[in-house]
Amino acid sequence: MVMSSAQFFDADYQSKTARFLQFLHIDPVLLAALLLLMAAGLGILYSASDGSMEIIQRQVIRLSIAFAVMFIVAQIPQHQLYLWAPWFFALGIVLLVLVLLAGDVGKGAQRWLNLYVIRFQPSEMMKLVTPLMLAWYLCEKPAPPKLSALSISLVLVALPTMLIARQPDLGTALLVAAAGFFVVFLGGLRWRYLFGAIFTMLALIPVLWQFMHDYQKQRVLTLLDPESDPLGSGYHIIQSMIAIGSGGIYGKGWLNGTQSQLDFLPERTTDFIYAVFAEEFGLMGAIVLLSLYAFIIIRGLYIAATAQDSFGRLLAGSLSLTFFVYLFVNVGMVSGILPVVGVPLPLVSYGGTSMVTLMAGFGMLMSVSTHRRLIAK
């Protein structure tokens, strides 16, 4: 039967589609925004990789896998996630310890666990498992959490964070810590505790500095004055800022960015892909892209706010805000206001692991958004 346009806009038909998506546990608004972002990401990657179809193909395969993972995760009802949370957490911690004891070394850090079939990065998993665990713990406690509950929460966040920071993988540690913190914050952390913690942190910065690796210190120093080491660690930031700045308001046009097309911009398909985008599409493009991200984050927070129970709320809220941290750290890094830590531009940067984690997270969001009726029954 041929569909007429009248049929397409028919309220009854629309509700049928909505019911169908509901049945698939898909949030259509979030899905549309994600698809749009990925399409834009492929376009940028095409330019950043000098039109390499090989890279595009691989990225499309990863995106498909990530989508499948999202779809599968979306089918898991949240009470199931609730049941699994402590076990996942325990498994994650064990794996992190194993990584430190017997992990593979890649790019100067010990992040990978060789499972003989696939190489596995347990720290990635902790980006999801940590907020899951904290939501599991805090949803049963009355809000706002008492000091004792906060202490337990602190341990639950600190444990994986420290283990990951030891690898060392500052970017992931930061994201894991942020994800855990967001659960506590959304769970009603008292403001006086929050500000107290912030002041304590500020006071601890000099101590923290002592424990940082030399290359990490160097990154911070380079951020403060990239010109101090223009050919070494400052090169990335300088070239990236040149790319962004020379893009101007309207950009040089797709495939016309000289910084990116002529190889001046390093890591341009991965961590620095935003600079390629900014060079070719300018400030206007940046406003559009950042708006799309903002839309996804707001939608995530909306799903969280409309979730039916505390567990779903905390989980969904934390995941949305973590997504924001990805974006902020990455764009802040390439535009020279944050130190260079390995955080990709979410869903755009070339690379597989974080893509799957991110989409699994969106799967959880969709699950929270679509499984609510089950509880009402």
Partner 1 sequence: MPYRSHVSDHSYEASIFKFRAIVAAIICILLLGGLLFRLAWLQIVDYDHFADLSENNRIRLMEVPPTRGLIYDRNGVILAENKPTFHLEIIPEQVADMDAMLAGLGKIVTLSENDIKRFKDEMRVRRSFQRISLRTRLNEEEVARLAVNRHRFPGMDISARLSRYYPQGEATSHVVGYVGRINQRDMGIIDVGNYRGTTHIGKTGLEKYYESELHGKVGRQKVEVNAQGRILRVIEKVPPVAGNDLVLNLDMELQHMAEDALGDLAGAVIAIEPHNGAVVVFVSKPGFDPNLFVHGISHKKYNELQHGVDKPLFNRTIFGQYPPGSTFKPFIGLAGIEQRRFGPKESIMCRGHYLLPGDDTRRKYRDWKKQGHGMVDFTKAMEQSCDVYFYELAYRMGINSMHDFLAQFGFGEKTGIDILGERRGLLPSTEWKKRSRGKIWYPGETLIAGIGQGYMLTTPIQLAVATATLAGRGEKIVPRLLKEVHLSENDTVKKREPSRHMIKLRRDSHWDLLFKSMEKVVHGTWGTARATGWGMKFKMAGKTGTAQVFGIAQDEEYDAETVARKLRDHGLFIGFGPVKDPVLSVTVVAENGEHGSAMAPIAKKLIKRYMEKYGHE
Residues lying near partner 1 in the complex (CB under 8 A)? 79, 82-83, 139-140, 142-144, 182, 185-188, 239, 241-249, 258-259, 262-264, 278, 282-283, 286-287, 290, 293-294, 297-298, 301, 304-305, 308-311, 313-314, 317, 321, 324, 328, 331-332, 335-337, 375
The least CB distance from residue 151 to partner 1, in Å, is 20
Shortest separation between residue 315's beta carbon and partner 1, angstroms = 12
Q: What is the 3-state secondary structure (H, E, C) of 79-109?
A: HHHHHHHHHHHHHHHHHHHHHHHHCEEECCE
Nearer to partner 1, 110 or 335 (CB): 335
- Give 3-state DSSP helix, strand, coil % of the chain, rounded to 5: 75, 5, 25
**Which of 28, 11, 70 is CA-nearest to residue 359?**
70
CB of 19 to partner 1, least distance (A): 25
Using the minimum distance from each CB to partner 1, give the nearer residue, 336 or 342.
336
Q: Identity (one letter) of the amino acid at 14?
A: Q
Which residue, 119 or 372, has its beta carbon nearer to partner 1? Answer: 372
> Min. distance of Cβ 109 from partner 1 in angstroms?
26
**CA trace torsion 193, 199, 205, 208 (10° rounding):** -20
Q: Supply the minimum distance, in Å, between the C-beta of residue 113 and partner 1.
A: 29
Closest CB to partner 1 among 89 and 112? 89
Contact 281, 247 (CB under 8 A): yes
Q: Provide, rounded to whole angstroms, the least separation between the CB of residue 168 and partner 1.
A: 26
Q: How many C-beta atoms surround the C-beta of residue 263 within 10 A?
A: 10
Instruction: Write phi, then psi, for 109 (nearest 5 degrees).
Output: -135, 155
Rounded to whole angstroms, the Cα distance separating 343 from 351 reads 11
Residue 105 pairs with which residues in a beta bridge?
110
Nearer to partner 1, 118 or 224 (CB): 224
Which string of DSSP letters, residue by residue, matches 177-216?
HHHHHHHHHHTT--HHHHHHHHHHHHHHHHHHHHHS-HHH
Residue holding tokens 């934390």? 318
Provide the 10 A C-beta neighbour count for residue 77. 17
**119 vs 229, beta carbon nearer partner 1:** 229
CA-to-CA dists, residue 31 to 36, 71, 240, 300, 357, angstroms: 9, 11, 31, 11, 16
Whichever of 69 and 223 has its CB closer to partner 1, that residue is: 223
Q: How far is the CB of 365 from partner 1 (least distance, A)?
A: 13
Identify which of residues 121 and 261 has a Cβ nearer to partner 1 in the complex.
261
Minimum CB distance to partner 1, residue 1 (Å): 43
- Closer to partner 1 by Cβ: residue 58 or 372: 372
- Measured distance between the N- and C-terminal CA atoms of the chain, rounded to whole angstroms: 36
Nearest distance, CB of residue 319 and partner 1, angstroms = 12
Provide the 8-state DSSP code for 344. Answer: P
- Measured CA angle at 347 (ends 313, 250), to 5 deg: 115
